[in-house]
Amino acid sequence: MRTMLKAGIAALALTFVAGAAQAQEKLSIYHWFEYIPQELLDKFSAETGIEVTMDTFDSNEAMLASLKAGKLGSYDVAVPGDYMVEIMIGEGMLDTVADGELANFGNIEQQWLDVPFDPGRMHSIPYQWGSTSFSVNRDVYQGDINDTSIVYDPPDELKGKINVLDAQGEVMLLASLHLGIPQCSTDREQLKALDALLQAAKPHWASFNSDGAKDVLVSGDAAVGMIWNGFGAKARAEGANIEYAYPRQGYVVWMDNVVLLKDAPNRASAIRFMDFLLEPENIAAVTNYARYAAGVTGVAPHLDPELASAPESVPPADAPAGTFVAVCDQATQEVYDTMWTRLKK
């Protein structure tokens, strides 16, 4: 009887321990706003039993500041842009994904495998990629929109009706392209010209708004909106009579990536989530929702057919190549930060 009682207690204890272990399976995500369908997170939880929580940010810089202010160690994965991955690696904020940890690693498209911001993909996987330019309300302005002057030296019809992303890297890169100067320039005259351009343009801007960039175009509160191409496509689908520009001076291209954060409290869950997103059907669900492009092979059969012809996704034949945001040296970045702070006041 005593033996049976002991065996029963032992079995109960094992059941409790197993249940506790299962209850501890969690995943904490730090993600861009309005960028992943809830149905996909629900699918991941259903397949794995892992409970998912997610907080959102509206710019790469806001994400970095939050993590540096004490949130590192609270999240398992984050979704920074290309240049921000490089910065985070330099800051020692990312963990390394060991060889063989991701069963679906071979699904990454070759062009996104050995990338400059994370050579060999030691810390990240591709998520979505796209462009940043601006959309213009054609009810308000019928002229040529493929010119960065629309944002930085606008015609009278558009003055005071422009929303600019609250995104330092993209706003300043687009301004540099407008002036025809290199990113991260150390030339004092070029830096003065960049600062002067931004300060002169500021009175013509109605707002700095990233998370509402789509809504202000749909509502008509803005006639011009600096915007990511997928977000622009969503605004057009919601009824805004807008056209996405591919300015002749150039535009921004980017890739967002899922990174494994240092001191992730649920590292095993993070690896499972990254592997889940490397399955074509799953990452295609993100593309169909967000209207960008994936960096994974085999997604085409799972995509909405209309994506292939969406004007926000298909640059015209005469459009220039896009430009990635560069990581400046510390001294130059401090100058850029000073300009940005003045601009936001």
Output the pLDDT for position 6: 43
- Beta-strand ranges (E) seen in the chain are 26-32, 51-57, 77-78, 124-137, 162-164, 205-208, 224-228, 242-244, 252-260
User: What is the band of 16 on the pLDDT scale with cuts at 50, 70, 90?
Assistant: very low
Task: Give the separation between CA 302 and CA 102, rounded to whole angstroms.
Answer: 22
For 302, residues 6+ apart whose C-beta sits below 8 A from its C-beta are 280, 281, 284, 285, 288
Output the pLDDT for position 24: 60
Q: Among 149, 244, 146, 246, which residue's Cα sits nearest to residue 200?
A: 149
Q: Among 254, 305, 334, which residue's Cα sits nearest to residue 85?
A: 254
Output the pLDDT for position 23: 55
Output the pLDDT for position 20: 45
One-letter amino acid at 144 equals D
Contact 47, 96 (CB under 8 A): no
Output the pLDDT for position 316: 94
Question: Both tokens of residue 277?
Answer: 């997103």
Per-residue pLDDT for 163 more than 80?
yes
Task: Give the separation between CA 54 and CA 56, rounded to whole angstroms.
Answer: 7
Output the pLDDT for position 46: 97
Q: What is the pLDDT of residues 285-312, one digit of tens each?
A: 999 999 999 999 999 999 999 999 999 9
Output the pLDDT for position 15: 46
Give percent above pLDDT 70 in the chain.
93
Per-residue pLDDT for 137 more than 70?
yes
Output the pLDDT for position 139: 98
Question: In the chain, where does the domain assigned CATH 3.40.190.10 lie?
Answer: 2-129+255-308, 130-253+314-344
Average pLDDT over residues 238-254: 98
For 89, residues 6+ apart whose C-beta sits below 8 A from its C-beta are 117, 118, 123
Long-range contacts of 143-150 (CB under 8 A, 24+ apart): 145/243, 145/245, 145/247, 146/245, 146/246, 146/247, 146/248, 146/319, 147/245, 147/247, 147/248, 147/249, 148/174, 148/175, 148/177, 148/178, 148/247, 148/249, 148/250, 149/178, 150/224, 150/245, 150/247
| 130-253+314-344 CATH, one of 3.40.190.10, 3.40.50.970, 3.40.50.300, 1.10.580.10 | 3.40.190.10
For residue 306, the 8-state DSSP code is G
Q: 2-129+255-308: CATH homologous superfamily?
A: Periplasmic binding protein-like II (3.40.190.10)
Output the pLDDT for position 8: 47
Average pLDDT of the residues of the chain: 94
Q: What is the pLDDT of residues 67-111, one digit of tens each?
A: 999 999 999 999 999 999 999 999 999 999 999 999 999 999 999
For 143, residues 6+ apart whose C-beta sits below 8 A from its C-beta are 155
Average pLDDT over residues 107-134: 97
pTM of the predicted structure, to 2 decimals? 0.90
